[in-house]
Amino acid sequence: MRWLKFSVVGTMGAVLQLALLAFFARLGMHYLLATAISVEAAILHNFVWHRRWTWHDRLCAPDAAGAALARFNLTNGLVSISGNLLSAYLLAGFWRIDPVVASAVSIAIGAFANFFLSDRVVFVSHGETAERLPSGRQMGPPSICKSGKPALVTRIERHVKGFSSPLNHTTRGAKAVYGVQDSLGRMRTEGHCLTLIS
């Protein structure tokens, strides 16, 4: 199903790219510059649609959109722009094939690489990213994803599970204090809580 959505978005982006390329070519713009501008317009178009529709289940908080856009431009953008410029240079430059046809050939070839990069590198939840990085560190700021818990909660849970002393919870009035019981039975507070229990 995701491949089908990717294909629909890719087709809309390809139509946009080819229409802009034809328009710029009619204006007399150099075919390589026209190709680069039309490809970038399609990249931005596809990013918005993929983020909102194709990979909506991996949508993270808005603060992660900039990082995802950067990854999209560095992966799909690089594949698309380099592939299209190479196609335009070889097919349109040497063999005098129409730049729109050269761009269409490049779009077809790059589709599989772009799907793989989008699925595995660009639109990943923070939990998936952390599992894929050898260091276990997360890329981008902690945020809440639809596909998982907030990254900060996951880190706290890991810390609590690895803690050797039993955690105790005491309530004083409306204030809850979490801490660790020491050897004399007194509560020692953890974190930024300044409340002392004797």
Residue 59 within any structural domain of the chain: yes
Nearest-CA neighbor of 42 among 68, 81, 3, 89?
81
Residue 95 lies in domain: 2-123
Same domain for 103 and 53: yes
Q: Are 50 and 118 in contact (CB under 8 A)?
A: yes
**Amino acid at position 101, single letter:** V
The string of DSSP codes covering 93-123 is IIS---HHHHHHHHHHHHHHHHHHHIIIIIS
- Give the per-residue pLDDT at 169: 46
Residue 141 within any structural domain of the chain: no
Q: How many Cβ atoms sit within 10 Å of the Cβ of residue 171?
A: 8
Task: Give me 71's structure tokens.
Answer: 């990854």
Q: Are 197 and 170 in contact (CB under 8 A)?
A: yes
Same domain for 169 and 116: no
Per-residue pLDDT of the chain (198 residues; tens, 9 = 90+): 899 999 999 999 999 999 999 999 999 999 999 999 999 999 999 999 999 999 988 876 555 788 889 999 999 999 999 999 999 999 999 999 998 999 999 999 999 999 999 999 998 865 544 444 444 444 443 344 444 444 444 545 555 555 444 444 444 444 444 454 545 555 554 444 333 344
Residue 186 within any structural domain of the chain: yes
Domain count along the chain: 2
The span from the CA of 111 to the CA of 7, in Å, is 8
Residue 197 within any structural domain of the chain: yes
Same domain for 43 and 118: yes
Same domain for 23 and 77: yes
The span from the CA of 68 to the CA of 161, in Å, is 31
